[in-house]
Amino acid sequence: GNPCIEVRVRPRRGNKPLCSGCGAKSSGYDSLAERRFAYVPLWGIAVFFLYSMRRVNCSCCGIKVEEIPWGSGKRSITNSYAWFLARWAKRLSWKETAEAFRVSWYTVYSSVEMAVEWGRKHLDLSNVRSLGIDEIQWQLGHKYLTLVYQIDSCSKRLLWVGEERKAKTLLRFFRWFGRERSERIEFICSDLWKPYLKVIRKKASGAVNVLDRFHLIQRINRAIDEVRAGEARKLQQDGYEPILKGTRWCLLKREENLTNKQNVKLAELLQYNLKSVRAYLLKGSLDQLWTYISPFWAGKFLDQWCSQVMRSQIEPMKKIARSIRKNRTLILNWFHAKGQISNGITEGFNNKAKLTTRKAYGFRSFKCAEIALFHTLGNLPEPEFTHRFL
């Protein structure tokens, strides 16, 4: 077989074992069969600690297996190795980590679970002043996860994961977060999902609710795509040249992200007086909104933009304008929060969360996905180590 190093461990003479229940020194009761604990490999060579666990006769807990400093519970690997695997599982998928170190997928999972549980137990929530609330689709069908992030300029991390995107989901977060901390929240960045807005008003009434600018652009892009698809069908039915074919991303991507081919296609398209083109130009003119410093003048510009859209006779865009008028305060709150929160960080986190779930070999349960997301995005604390192997 493969070469390995075996280190046989014996207790000091006269040393009393510690009770794994209460930690008190107790007299020995008997010894169990020798166990192997996998340690961090050295130069690719497997290392094992061999030790016969003692049972103690504790006056408080009764007969218990002793507590050992290098391992815990029934885990067949040492704590050092578990933390080593957990760190590698941030860089690789769990399956790749298991294959690289020749352990089972479950060993990697339990190591990550241990790291997450320790980190969540030692989480410091005293400096949370700004929250980002959003949802991502999880698994097939209409299955969602509600994600709550800290988006302060000084600290950005995932705080909480909830199944589904209902009002009761977000209520569970605020119950976990606590009333006192909720009262100290200054800014909450969210989309226009009504169940979220309702809970935010109820549980964090003192916070300024900000509509994330990304969500506004996302809604406008959906409207442009609807206009383009409808207009393309009508042109085809009327026998015109399919000039809108292959133009979807030309209209939806930011100008600086277009390829050379898309730039040429867009330049050709802009010569036509189409609703799709007018909708695209309206979206482009809205970019000026984010250059304002004063909420008052930003509001003036936003009102003028909405009036222009309402005269455009482009129904999907008019629907957006009506929504903007209805939620004008939430949009302008962005200017009050400018510089206080990390704008766009929620969407950046969501992209990482989607990547984490896509790499989720075997993440069939919510608990598994939750652990993976906390491990990747939670910026969780770790204990101090005498030696670090990564």
- Domain spans of the chain, in order of start: 1-76, 80-122, 130-211+344-377, 213-336
Q: Write the CATH number of the domain with boundaries 130-211+344-377.
A: 3.30.420.10
Exposure on the CB side of residue 128, measured as CA atoms within 13 A? 23
Task: Indicate if the pLDDT at residue 362 is higher than 70.
Answer: no
Among 334, 328, 326, smallest CA distance to 290 is for: 334
Question: In angstroms, rounded to a whole number, what is the distance separating the alpha carbons of residues 378 and 355?
Answer: 15
b/e code 153-178 from CB counts within 10 Å (16+ = b): eeebbbbbbbbbbbeebbbbbbeebe
Q: List pLDDT tens digits, range 3-13.
A: 889 999 888 88
E-state strands within the chain: 4-8, 18-19, 27-42, 45-58, 62-67, 130-137, 144-152, 155-163, 187-190, 208-211
Question: In angstroms, rounded to a whole number, what is the distance separating the alpha carbons of residues 39 and 45?
Answer: 10
Question: In angstroms, rounded to a whole number, what is the distance separating the alpha carbons of residues 109 and 94?
Answer: 7
Confidence at 214, pLDDT banded by 50, 70, 90: confident
Residue 66 structure tokens: 């002793």
Q: List pLDDT tens digits, range 258-275.
A: 999 999 999 999 999 999
- Percent of the chain past pLDDT 70, that is, above it, reads 96
Per-residue pLDDT averaged across 98-102, rounded?
92
How distant, in Å, are the alpha carbons of 221, 232, 302, 323 from that of 227?
10, 8, 22, 17
Task: Indicate if the pLDDT at residue 386 is higher than 60.
Answer: no
Tell me if 187 sits within 8 A of 338, measured CB to CB: no
Q: What are phi and psi of 250, to 5 degrees?
A: -60, -35
Per-residue pLDDT averaged across 277-304, rounded?
95
Tell me if 152 sits within 8 A of 127, measured CB to CB: yes
Cα 313 to chain centroid, rounded: 39
- Name residues whose C-beta falls within 8 Å of residue 234's C-beta, 6 or more positions apart in sequence: none
Per-residue pLDDT averaged across 355-383, rounded?
84
Q: 18-19 and 4-8 as β-strands: parallel, antiparallel, unpaired? A: unpaired
Dihedral angle computed from the Cα positions of residues 181, 186, 190 and 194, in that order, rounded to the nearest 10 degrees: 70
Among 341, 379, 65, smallest CA distance to 187 is for: 341
Per-residue pLDDT averaged across 360-374, rounded?
81
Dihedral angle computed from the Cα positions of residues 283, 136, 349 and 280, in that order, rounded to the nearest 10 degrees: -10
Question: In angstroms, rounded to a whole number, what is the distance separating the alpha carbons of residues 330 and 193?
Answer: 12
Looking at per-residue confidence, does 73 or 372 come out higher?
Answer: 372
Q: State residue 68's pLDDT score.
A: 85
Question: In angstroms, rounded to a whole number, what is the distance separating the alpha carbons of residues 80 and 89?
Answer: 14
Confidence at 193, pLDDT banded by 50, 70, 90: confident
Q: List pLDDT tens digits, range 30-80.
A: 778 888 999 999 888 899 999 988 888 888 888 888 888 888 878 889 999
DSSP characters over 15-52: PPPEETTT--B-EEEEEEEEEEEEEEEETTEEEEEEEE
Task: Indicate if the pLDDT at residue 16 is higher than 90.
Answer: no
Per-residue pLDDT averaged across 267-284, rounded?
95
Among 240, 228, 232, smallest CA distance to 276 is for: 228
Task: Indicate if the pLDDT at residue 387 is higher than 60.
Answer: no
Q: State residue 235's pLDDT score.
A: 92
Q: List pLDDT tens digits, range 113-150.
A: 999 999 999 999 999 999 999 998 887 777 899 999 99
Q: State residue 360's pLDDT score.
A: 55
Cα 315 to chain centroid, rounded: 35
| Average of per-residue pLDDT values in the chain | 89
Residue that has been written with the tokens 């292959």 in this structure: 246
Confidence at 379, pLDDT banded by 50, 70, 90: very high
The packing angle between helices 366-377 and 105-121, to 10°, is 60
1: exposed, middle or buried (Cβ count in 10 Å: 0-12, 13-18, 19+): exposed
DSSP characters over 133-159: EEEEE-SSSS-EEEEEEEEETTEEEEE
Confidence at 85, pLDDT banded by 50, 70, 90: very high
Question: In angstroms, rounded to a whole number, what is the distance separating the alpha carbons of residues 308 and 327?
Answer: 18
Question: In angstroms, rounded to a whole number, what is the distance separating the alpha carbons of residues 182 and 66?
Answer: 42
